[in-house]
Amino acid sequence: MAILVFVESAEGKIKKTSIEAVAYAHALGGPVTAIALGAVEKAELEALGKYGAQKVLHVADERLSQGIIQAYATVLEKALQDEGADILVLANSSLGTPVAARVATKLGASLASNVVELPKTDGGFVVKRSIYTGKAFAWVELKNQKKVIALRKNAADIKEVGSPVQVTPYSVTLGDADFATKITSSEKATGEVLLPEANIVVSGGRGMKGPEHWGILEELAKTLHAATGCSKPVSDMGWRPHHEHVGQTGVKVAPQLYIAVGISGAIQHLAGVNSSKYIVVINKDPEAPFFKAADYGIVGDAFEIIPKLTEAIKAAK
Amino acid sequence: MKILVCITHVPDTTSKINFTDNNTKFDTTGVQFIIGPYDDYALARAIELKDAIAGTTVTVLNVGPADTEPTLRKGLAIGADDAIRVNAEPTDSFFVASQIAAIAKETPYDLILMGRESIDYNSGVVHGIVAELLGIPSISPVMKLDLEGTKAKLAREIEGGKEYLEVSLPFVAGCQEPIAEWKIPNMRGIMSARTKPLKVVEPKAADSGVKLQKFELPPPKGSVKMIPADNVPELVNLLKNEAKVL
Ligand SMILES: Cc1cc2nc3c(=O)[nH]c(=O)nc-3n(C[C@H](O)[C@H](O)[C@H](O)COP(=O)(O)OP(=O)(O)OC[C@H]3O[C@@H](n4cnc5c(N)ncnc54)[C@H](O)[C@@H]3O)c2cc1C
């Protein structure tokens, strides 16, 4: 049961969600080949061996430094065939999931996205996927020999199980159709912790009263090495950028710790955060529905509590 | 120009999710169904394009049994010209995508829009499968889409940022906000929706290789531990020593 893992990178570094995909593939048990596309640092590629990759393929084609869905699907289909792999594992991300769809279709593979656990393999290959935006799960059997699994973030534990490996150059002939989509430019949030990958998220809602008050949340986030998020009205009003909007119609997060400040806890917001391991709610209204979904709560004014919390964390460090 | 908008028929975002029949069926008791919120964005953008480009028609499509027709009629009330319902239970992404691709093979569309994912199964793969079956580009999640003749300029969300792209028609886009403002049907739209054509077609066979075994609900949340507002350091203590997340 050979397994291929597609690893995504940004600015030359392998993404954490992709290292999780390697760890998941290792736990599945097959020999694991990882494949990376475009400009990636050599040491990063070699280090994939530590997390369970026996082999690392690198397609150093500069054109693939940008995530072009069709071109990536073509490369992965070929690599699966060349490696004799039956299973493709990748991250359930804005790139991984659309790529998974196309590769699975090319291969006639059984496809599952949003997978949250290792499969049950006694009697079939049955994966657990998150549905209804985290409000439920479905167990689905992947019946075909070939399988494509898009893994939700934080669904696999990263462990060091091996040592660095040599990187094998790999190439695939690509045609015009693979590059039918042209990426003309991009805007990336750099130098900060990215929301979808963060271990800790500090989120603010309408209770923060205005964008000028976000400084205290950013200070808290910085102290915790956390990403910042927000509720939908906050991004709708332009207080914060759209990509920070968490919830049913925004980013779904699954951090170790989610701190919600001045957010009421509407069901659509909860849908995006209920996979968090621990939830802290700070709200001045003791009746705020968010307290029902929280592990820890403080009833109080955010403008008093947050600076105190930041101080207390600094003191405890 | 012909635009196809694929819409899902999903439980309202505030629905409580429950299952029946030994956790194998979704419990529809008391559940209100709506057009999927992401699909609503796709439809709103399609209507804007129709208003801007003369001669444009918008078709809404749903794969679902007869009880999804009110959702299609709502799409017509918002401004679509006609509707197609593929008469089948939408069992999985590949099955649904195959039905959409079959329709689009019979009648070529210049643009196929849908939500980035449905809010019931959250697969996020239907647009990619449809495009692969048709051999055309797919782009998702799309937050901006402008047309200049047969060329399109788009913005796509990536983790922590945006990408700007160009592509020629035809292609498939999985949409999300803020691509357009949701449209609310007005009285005239609701009246005219009753008489607009709604075609029912039978499904094509398509085996996806996936089989649902059962649903499961997450374990109930334990009760919240409240910390007095004048003892913030206690929260830090609990996060550090009890939850062990700091
Ligand atoms: C189809 C649909 C999809 C949606 N998708 C999403 C989504 O993805 N994400 C999302 O977030 N929402 C979503 N919503 C909106 C959602 O229903 C709520 O309106 C939204 O989450 C409310 O945001 P909020 O909690 O910031 O604001 P409010 O509901 O206004 O709550 C503000 C909270 O701040 C508290 N507060 C005020 N002042 C202070 C203070 N000084 N200190 C501490 N607390 C204070 C108040 O007690 C209150 O609880 C969606 C809605 C619909 C209809």
Q: What is the CATH number of the domain that holds A76?
A: 3.40.50.620
Q: What tokens does A132 get?
A: 């209804």
Is the confidence at residue B23, as pLDDT, over 70? Answer: yes
Q: What is the pLDDT of residues B181-229, one digit of tens each?
A: 999 999 999 999 999 999 999 999 998 899 999 999 998 888 999 999 9
Question: Is there a single domain that holds both residue A159 and residue A270?
Answer: no
Which percentage of chain A shows pLDDT scores above 90?
89
CATH number of the domain residue A221 falls in: 3.40.50.1220
Is residue A108 over pLDDT 60? yes
Optimal mutation site among A117, A232, A249, A279, interface B, most CBs of chain B within 10 A: A249
Query: Is residue A13 scored above 60 in pLDDT?
Result: yes
Do residue A76 and residue A139 come from a single domain? Answer: yes
pLDDT mean over B13-26: 95
pLDDT of residue A191: 53
Q: Which CATH number fits domain B2-221: 3.40.50.2030, 3.40.50.620, 1.10.10.10, 3.40.50.970?
A: 3.40.50.620
- DSSP code, position A205: -
Q: How confident is the model at residue A190 (pLDDT cuts 50, 70, 90)?
A: low
Domain shared by A150 and A222, yes or no: no
Residue A23 is assigned to a structural domain of this protein: yes
* Residue A100 sits in the same domain as residue A224: no
Please say if the pLDDT value at position A130 is more than 90: yes
Structural domain span for residue A57: 3-179
Query: A92 a known binding residue?
Result: no
In Å, how far is A103's CA from the nearest CA of chain B? 9
As a whole number, mean pLDDT of residues B174-179 equals 94
Asked whether residue A184 is assigned to any structural domain, the reply reads no
**Does residue A189 lie in a domain region?**
no
> In a mutational test of the pocket of ligand 1, which residue from A237, A284, A287 has the highest number of ligand atoms less than 8 Å from its CB?
A284
Contact criterion met (CB below 8 Å) for B46 and B114: no
A169 & A75 share domain = yes
What's the rounded mean pLDDT across residues A208-227?
96
Q: Establish if A16 belongs to a structural domain.
A: yes
**Neighboring chain A residues of B136 at a CB cutoff of 8 Å:** 180
Last residue of a domain, one of A179, A208, A223: A179
Q: How far is the CA of B76 from the CAs of A202, B72, B80, B81, in angstroms?
A: 41, 6, 4, 6
pLDDT tens readout for residues A109-121: 999 999 999 999 9
Give yes or no for residue A150 having a pLDDT over 60: yes
Tens of pLDDT, residue by residue over B92-115, are: 999 999 999 999 999 999 999 999
Which one of B122, B172, B176, B207 makes the best mutation probe of the A interface by having the most chain A beta carbons within 10 Å?
A: B122
- Environment class of residue A195 by beta-carbon count within 10 Å: exposed (0-12), middle (13-18) or buried (19+)? buried
Token representation of residue B22: 């030994």
Contact B125 A100 (CB under 8 A): yes
Please state the ipTM of this predicted complex. 0.94
- Residue B197 Cα, gap to closest chain A Cα (Å): 31
Could you report the per-residue pLDDT of B58-94, keeping only the tens digit for each?
A: 999 999 999 999 999 999 999 999 999 999 999 999 9
Q: Please tell me whether residues A262 and A297 are part of one structural domain.
A: yes
Mean pLDDT score, B133-151:
97
Which stretch of DSSP H or E encloses residue B192? helix B187-193
Chains A, B: CB pairs < 8 Å = 267
Q: Tell me whether residue A187 is in a domain.
A: no
Q: Are residues A57 and A164 in the same domain?
A: yes
Decide: A229 in ligand 1 pocket, CB within 6 A. no
Please give the pLDDT value at position B222. Answer: 86
Query: In terms of domains, do A172 and A229 share one?
Result: no
C-beta atoms of B174 and A280 within 8 A: no
Contact A297 B135 (CB under 8 A): no
Residues A107 and A248 both lie in one domain:
no
Given a cut of 90, whether residue B152 has pLDDT beyond it is yes
Task: Count the domains in chain A.
Answer: 2
Q: How confident is the model at residue B238 (pLDDT cuts 50, 70, 90)?
A: very high
| Ligand 1 centroid from CA A30, angstroms | 45
Tally of CB atoms within 10 A around B91: 15
Q: Are A276 and A141 found together in one domain?
A: no
Is residue A39 exposed (0-12), middle (13-18) or buried (19+ Cβ within 10 Å)? middle
Residues composing chain A: 317
Query: Which residue type sits at B211?
Result: K
Which residues in chain A are contacts of B218 at CB distance < 8 A? 134-137, 274
The last residue of a domain, from among A179, A214, A247: A179
Instruction: Tell whether ligand 1 has an atom less than 6 A from the beta carbon of residue A206.
Output: yes
Same domain, A123 and A166: yes
Cis peptide, bond prior to residue A286, ω within 30 of zero: no
Are A156 and A248 in the same domain?
Answer: no
Average pLDDT, chain A: 95
